[in-house]
Amino acid sequence: MSRTARRIADGGQATVELAMVLPLIVLLMLALVQVVVLARDQLLVTHAAREAARAAAVDPDPGAPRRAAVGAGPLDPGRLHVEAGPRGAVGTSVNVEVRYREPTSLPIVGRALGDVTLHSEATMRVER
């Protein structure tokens, strides 16, 4: 077999190898995108917890922490759960816990993971 004929045959082998590896590469890319989305939403949950703790520290209304957490970012309010601890006297601490059930909606990867619960807590001093 001549060198030219051998190169043509090798070109077909490379195409077959690429066709076999391409689905794995696509799956890895989807998993990477899902991890980035989860990391972004964890940052949003942490921000919502800080905002809710701030609201609980300055506003005696029991609904203020939830409203602050919902208004803090683009998280789905139906998947957001906010729990504020008891608000004591001025100078004491109030603790707020925020949980968010993150939908993993990317093809293939989302079905494998299911929903993930993200969690964050924040504590602030009660003010007047």
How far apart CA 48 and CA 77 sit, in angstroms, is 11
In a domain, 102, yes or no: yes
CA-closest candidate to residue 84, choices 68, 73, 97, 69: 97
Domain count for the chain:
1
CB atoms within 10 A of CB 68: 23
pLDDT of residue 118: 96
In a domain, 30, yes or no: no
**Strand stretches in 18-110, DSSP E:** 80-84, 93-102
In a domain, 90, yes or no: yes
pLDDT of residue 7: 61
pLDDT, one tens digit for every residue, the chain (128 residues): 566 666 655 667 888 888 889 999 988 898 888 889 899 999 999 999 999 999 999 999 999 999 999 999 999 999 999 999 999 899 999 999 999 998 887 777 777 778 899 999 999 999 97
In a domain, 74, yes or no: yes
Q: Distance between alpha carbon 125 and the CA centroid of its chain, in Å?
A: 28
Radius of gyration in angstroms for the set of CA atoms belonging to the chain, rounded to a whole number: 25
**Tokens representing residue 82 in the block:** 């906010």
Q: How many residues does the chain have?
A: 128
pLDDT of residue 104: 81
